[in-house]
């Protein structure tokens, strides 16, 4: 049986004026395992870009610009990163009435915080943390 040759390795060898590469190419393309990992990562990036463009109306590259604008962190908790160790992206938070994106949030902030409470409830939570009922009762608040 004839050995398949990785098309990317073959192209690299042609650029360097070398002979035929020696690595087997069992992956689709055909590709060797090294070039298949690179291709898979590129496909994942393209798929994410296309999904946020179609779902939220972001322009190509706008997700990355927003991520950089937020210093690569969740806009609320400021701890979760745009692409963490698990390779997960932050969620695109958007106004469900207008459909306009607001920012990038981690799953916890997007679902547990904003998905559950309205503005009035969040304002009450800030007032509670600033001066709790116990502190008001004891007249400890300024």
Which residues, in sequence order, are CB contacts of 35 under 8 Å at separation 6+?
A: 6, 8, 9, 27, 29
C-alpha closest to that of 130 among 105, 118, 122, 116: 122
pLDDT score, position 21: 66
Residues 82, 67: contact at Cβ < 8 Å? yes
- Is the predicted pLDDT of residue 64 greater than 90, yes or no? no
Q: What residue segments make up the domains of the chain, in order of their start?
A: 1-55
Residues 110, 75: contact at Cβ < 8 Å? no
Residues 106, 77: contact at Cβ < 8 Å? yes
Q: Cα(48)–Cα(61) distance, rounded to whole angstroms?
A: 11
What's this model's pTM, rounded to 2 decimal places?
Answer: 0.68
- Is the predicted pLDDT of residue 61 greater than 70, yes or no? yes
pLDDT score, position 25: 75
Encode pLDDT of 1-38 as tens digits.
567 888 888 777 766 666 666 777 777 778 888 888 99
Helix, strand, coil content of the chain in percent (nearest 5): 45, 10, 40
Encode pLDDT of 131-141 as tens digits.
988 888 888 88
């Amino acid at each position: 049986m004839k050995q398949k040759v990785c098309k990317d390795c073959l192209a690299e060898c042609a650029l360097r004026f070398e002979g035929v590469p020696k690595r087997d190419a069992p992956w689709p393309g055909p590709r060797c395992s090294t070039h298949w990992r690179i291709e898979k990562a590129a496909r994942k990036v393209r798929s994410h870009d296309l999904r946020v463009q179609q779902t939220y109306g972001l322009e190509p590259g706008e997700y990355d610009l927003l991520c950089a604008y937020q210093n690569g962190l969740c806009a609320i908790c400021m701890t979760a990163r745009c692409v963490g160790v698990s390779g997960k992206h932050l969620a695109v938070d958007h106004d469900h009435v207008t459909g306009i994106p607001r920012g990038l949030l981690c799953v916890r902030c997007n679902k547990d915080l904003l998905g559950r409470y309205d503005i009035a409830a969040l304002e009450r939570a800030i007032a509670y943390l600033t001066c709790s009922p116990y502190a008001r009762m004891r007249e400890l608040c300024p």
